[in-house]
Structure 1
Amino acid sequence: MMNIKYRQLKAFALAGQFGSFVQAADALAITQPSFSVLIRELEHDLGMQLFERTTRSCHLTAAGISFYEEVHTVLQDLESVYQHARDISAGRRGKLAIAAVASLAFGILTEAVGVFHRQYPEVRILMKEALNAGVISAVKQGDVELGVAGVLSGDSGLEFMPLFSDRLMVVTPLHHPAIQGKISWETIGKHPLILLGSGSAERALQISKVAVKPAFEVAHMATAIAMVRNGMGITILPGSALTGLNVEGLHYEAMPGELARRELGVLYRSRKSLGPAALAFIEVLKATVPSDPAILRIAATAAAERPTAQA
């Protein structure tokens, strides 16, 4: 049964490289007698002589030369595999699968991913966009290691790490009738609405018991913004998404009450240890995502700065 050790092969390769047991022992940081034992054990295990020794030097035998060529390649591969494993352990390599609600994947989360990629360029990130329920499902089923979505409602088997509070925003053309008085779900519901299918705004409207039938239902937030810009109606979107959308020339304002508020954070499975890359990404995310995103601060004062109604 083969019982060759890495240290024996490394000692042999160094002796073949330097042509000296003394220099090879120094390179391996062991005494010469200990080094000689490693070589003798290797020769015994292989059943052949690898070196012709003199008092001052050593030379590879014919068998030793052939073996050296093979060992040199094997050691390079082995050390490369070892370093790769160390990099994975330190979070410097590997892959990380993340699922996120579109409002974050489209906006705030993009910045965190960019920062992480610059710090860990060898980690491949796989990002999946989904509705909140889809993110939760992907994490629970193990399709992704991390989810970034809304707070759980008593969902067992998952942990939730809060990041910040998001708020639904109404986005309208300037001087739109919907923003001439006090903003409420009832007043918003009286105007043509452009909503995301099965999105937070639609759920909030249902909970508020406002009877509304969307004029348009779209799949993408950028589409909703484009339709608002073209005067086709108004939309309600998560404030966190507005950082990644072109809302210049439009009015946006926070919807009132707790219905419009939600906690966003990181989801992961309770009984599964997170990998190094996932742990590193969470730290980057916590440092990158502000607890009070600028877009939400701006919108908080929007009501006081509404454009004057046109005569």
Structure 2
Amino acid sequence: MAISLRQIQSFLSVAECGTFTKAAERLHMAQPALSQLVRELERELGIRLFDRTTRRVELTEGGREFQGASAKIMHDLDLAVRNANNLAERRRGRIVVAAPPLLAAILLPSAIVELRQRHPGIEVAIIDARTDKIVEEVRLGRADCGLGTFSAIEDGIERMPLTRDSLMLFCASAHPFAARTSLPWADLAEQPLITLTRDSGIRLLVEVGYETAEVPLRPLYEVSQITTALALVEADLGVAVLPTYALAMTSGRPIATRPLVEPTIARDVVMIRPSGRSPSPAVLAFEAILRSCIRRVGDLDWGTSGEPGVQQTR
């Protein structure tokens, strides 16, 4: 069956107007062309839709039944088109974002506020989880996008770099290291170290720094969350090596930060999306806003110290 939308539109117009002449005027087309479309539709359906008189046309029983069904089809199609236009113009939509807890706390609130101001019809849901969980949620389509630092060997995802991040030393303001401008990793050899547990990508990078500097890594405290590590640093129970974005959690606290060199270890903070799927207009709008938020947070110096060093992607 080869029924066209133009045929249905012609039929509905004739049914509403009651004459072919008025329907043709409404559709801005010649009456013979309109009559031909209706005849073709009748032929495809195998029923007569109108009883024709010299002055009017009236729906047959089959025509009345088809009018109800076809009017609903056209209404649903019109609604689908309007919804698509709303999405394309970023007036509505829903985004699920997955991010590590600290990065989510630093970036997402301001990004969501700005998104709601620009596009109040777009909703955002948050999954705050570990890096491996973020990749899984994105890969399986349960999250539209993810934020963080991810292994280059992860498949099933596409990466959009957002900024660079480097590891820094965090110590109490009263610690002797606070008087230094930068520190080589070798100087950490005798320091009580506060580090994240080994299921963290940050911990793996810390191990790279210690191994490169040829000093033993003997953590005094191993914790799962950066916020816990910062609390221990604030109490002067040791020093910690953490990503630059943790600076956002030190404002007003007696914590000093210094670049680590020899080597400098940096990695990309990226947005990931499922590979092979076109991002929705809502996700693209959120990505643009997120970049502007990162530029504002960039006042905290997300980048490296400028020293040559080890460039990592995890």
Does TM-score exceed 0.5, indicating one fold? yes
Separation in 2 of the partners of 1:48 and 1:224? 79
Aligned AA for 2:245?
S
- Partners of 1:23 and 1:261 in 2: how far apart? 72
Alignment CA distance shift 1:117-1:242 (3 Å):
farther
Question: What are the residue-to-residue correspondences of 1:229-240 with 2, within 5 Å?
Answer: 229-240=234-245
CA shift in 2, pair 1:254/1:24, >3 Å? farther
Mean Cα deviation higher: 88-97 or 183-192: 88-97
Counterpart CA distance in 1 for 2:243 and 2:153 is: 23
Question: After alignment, is 255-264 or 180-189 more displaced?
Answer: 180-189
Aligned position for 1:176: 175
Deviation of 1:293 after TM superposition, in Å, equals 0.3
CA distance in 1, matches of 2:292, 2:119: 15
Provide closer, same or farther for how the CA distance between residues 229 and 256 of structure 1 changes in structure 2, counting only shifts above 3 A: closer
* Residue 275 of structure 1: aligned partner: 279
- The answer to whether the 8 A contact 1:107-1:242 is kept is no
Give ranges in structure 2 of 5+ residues lacking alignment: 306-314
Matched, 1:252 2:256: yes
Q: Structure 1 CA distance, aligned partners of 2:19 and 2:250?
A: 70
State the match for 2:204 in structure 1.
203
The residue that corresponds to 2:49 in the other structure is: 49
Residue of structure 2 equivalent to 1:309: none
The alignment partner of 2:240 has SS state of strand
Q: Does 1:293 align with 2:292?
A: no
Identical-pair percentage: 25
8 A contact 1:164–1:292 mirrored in 2 = no
The structural deviation recorded for 1:19 is 3.4
Supply the distance in 2 between the matched residues of 1:246 and 1:21 (Cα, whole angstroms).
76
Give the C-alpha shift of residue 135 in structure 1.
4.8
8 Å contact kept, 2:172–2:233: yes
From the superposition, tell whether residues 143 and 59 of structure 1 become closer, same or farther in structure 2 (CA, over 3 Å).
closer
Residue aligning to 2:220: 215
The 1:10–1:203 alpha-carbon spacing in structure 2 relative to 1, beyond 3 Å, is: same
Corresponding residue of 1:264: 269
1: CA distance, partners of 2:60 / 2:238: 86
Preserved CA contact (<8 Å) 1:171 1:250: no
Cα RMSD after superposing both structures: 4.0
Partner AA of 1:50 in structure 2: F
Please report the TM-score for the alignment, with normalisation by the length of structure 1.
0.71
- Classify 1:32/1:68 alpha carbon distance in 2 versus 1 (closer, same or farther; 3 Å): same
**Structure 2 residue identity aligned to 1:19:** G
The letter of the residue matching 2:279 is G
| Offset from partner CA, 1:68-96 (integer Å, 9 cap, x none) | 33332232123223444555667766655
CA distance in 2, matches of 1:190, 1:99: 38
Residue type of the alignment partner of 1:248: G
Provide structure 1 residue ranges, at least 5 long, that are not aligned to the other structure: 301-311
What amino acid is the match of 1:256?
A: L
Change (3 A) 1:84 1:225: same
Give the Cα–Cα distance (whole angstroms) in 2 for the partners of residues 49 and 160 of structure 1: 56
**C-alpha spacing 1:26/1:122, structure 2 compared with 1 (3 Å):** farther
Structure 2 letter corresponding to 1:259? T
Match of residue 10 from structure 2: 11
1:246–1:22: structure 2 CA closer, same or farther, 3 Å change rule? Answer: farther
Q: Distance in 1 between matches of 2:68 and 2:157?
A: 52
> What is the TM-score normalised by the length of structure 2?
0.71
Q: 1:232 to 1:69 in 2, by over 3 A?
A: same
CA contact (8 A) 2:101 2:129 kept: yes
Residue 72, structure 1, aligned to residue 71, structure 2: yes
Over 3 Å counting, the alpha-carbon distance change for 1:299 and 1:167 in structure 2 is closer
Distance of 2:302 and 2:84 partners within structure 1: 44
SS at structure 1 position matched to 2:219: coil
| Aligned-pair CA distance for 1:294 | 1.0
Range with bigger deviation, 35-44 or 129-138: 129-138
Work out whether residues 204 and 259 of structure 1, in 8 Å CA contact, stay in contact via their aligned partners in 2.
no
- Are the counterparts in 2 of residues 11 and 39 from structure 1 also a CA contact under 8 Å? yes
**1:198-222 superposed Cα distances (whole Å, 9 cap, x missing partner):** 3455334322234343333222223
